[in-house]
Chains A and B, each alone.
Chain A
Amino acid sequence: MTQVLQEKQRDTQRTSPRPDERRLRRIRTIPAVSTIVIAIGLATVAGPLYWMVTASFKTKTEVTALNPTMVPQDPTVDNYTGLITGSMPFTDFFLNSVVTSVVTAIGATFICALAGYSFSRGAYRLRSGFSLSILAVQMLPFAVLIGPLYLLMLKLHLLNTYTGLILGYTTFALPFGAWMMKGFIDSVPREIEEAARVDGYSRLGILFRVVLPLSLPGLSTTAVIIFINSWNNLLYPLTLVTDTEKLTLPPGLMQTFNGQFQFDWGGMMAATTVTSLPLVIAFFAVQKYMVRGMTAGALGGT
Chain B
Amino acid sequence: MTSITLRGIEKTFGAETALRSCDLVISDREFLVLVGPSGSGKTTLLRIISGLEQATNGEIYFGDRLVNDIDVGDRDIAMVFQNYGLYPHMSVYNNMAFGLRRRKIPKQDIDRKVNEAAQMLGIGALLHRKPRQLSGGQRQRVALGRAIVRDPAVFLLDEPLSNLDAHLRTQMRSEILKVHRTVTATAVYVTHDQVEALTMGDRIAVMSDGVIQQVDTPEALYDRPVNRFVAGFIGTPPMGFLPGAVRRQPGTTKVTGEGLHVCLPSDLAGALPAGTSEVVVGVRPEALRLVADSFTEDESESWLQGIVDVIEPLGSEKHVLLTSAGVGLVAKLPRTSQVDVGQKITLAIEPTGGLHVFDADTGVALRPEDRR
The binding surface of chain B is classed by DSSP as mixed
**Chain B residue nearest to A193 in the complex (CB):** B85
Residues of B with Cβ closer than 8 Å to A? 50, 52, 72-74, 77-79, 81-89, 98-99, 102-103, 130-134, 136, 139, 146, 150, 163
> How many residues of chain A have a CB within 8 Å of chain B?
25
Contact of B88 among A192, A196, A201, A205 (CB under 8 A): A192
Q: Please, which residue of chain A has its CB at the minimum distance from the CB of B143?
A: A195
Q: Is the CB of A198 within 8 A of B50?
A: yes
Which of A196, A199, A213 is packed against the most chain B CB atoms within 10 Å?
A199
- Minimum C-beta distance from A201 to chain B (A): 6
**Judging by beta carbons under 8 Å apart, are A194 and B86 in contact?**
no
- Given known contacts A189-B83, A300-B82, what 10 new A-B pairs fall within 8 Å (CB)? A194-B52, A198-B77, A198-B78, A199-B150, A200-B103, A209-B98, A294-B88, A297-B88, A297-B131, A300-B163
Q: Choose among A191, A192, A198, A295 the residue that contacts B72 (Cβ–Cβ < 8 A).
A: A198
Can you name 11 A-B pairs with beta carbons within 8 Å? A189-B85, A192-B88, A195-B81, A198-B52, A199-B146, A200-B102, A297-B86, A297-B88, A297-B130, A297-B134, A300-B139
Contact check, A294 vs B89: say whether CB atoms are below 8 A apart. Answer: yes
Chain A, range 169-201, C-beta contacts under 8 Å to B: 189, 191-192, 194-201
A294 to B89, CA, bound (A): 7
Q: A196 — which chain B residues lie within 8 A by C-beta?
A: 87, 98
Residues of A within 8 A of B74 (CB): 200
Complex Cα spacing A201 to B73, Å? 7
Q: In angstroms, how far is the closest chain B Cβ from the Cβ of A291?
A: 15
Select B85's contact among A191, A202, A296, beta carbons within 8 Å. Answer: A191
Whole-angstrom distance between the alpha carbons of A299 and B140 in the complex? 10
A301 within 8 Å of B (CB atoms): yes
Shortest CB distance A215–B (Å): 10
Q: Is the CB of A299 within 8 A of B99?
A: no
Question: Once the chains bind, are A198 and B79 in contact (CB under 8 Å)?
Answer: yes
With most chain B CB atoms within 10 A of its CB, the pick from A196, A201, A297, A301 is: A297
Name the distance in Å between A68's Cβ and chain B's nearest Cβ.
Answer: 53
Smallest CB–CB gap between B92 and chain A, Å? 11
**Interfacial residues of chain A within 107-166, with CB under 8 A of chain B in the complex:** none
Residues of B within 8 A of A205 (CB): 102
How far, in whole Å, are A54 and B151 apart by their CA atoms in the complex?
68
Q: Which residues of B contact A194 (CB under 8 A)?
A: 52, 72, 79, 81, 85
Contact of A195 with B89 at beta-carbon distance under 8 Å, contacts A200-B99, A300-B136 already known: no
Cβ of A49 under 8 Å from chain B: no
A202 to B72 Cα, complex, angstroms: 10
Q: Which residues of A contact B77 (CB under 8 A)?
A: 198
CB–CB A195/B52 < 8 A: no
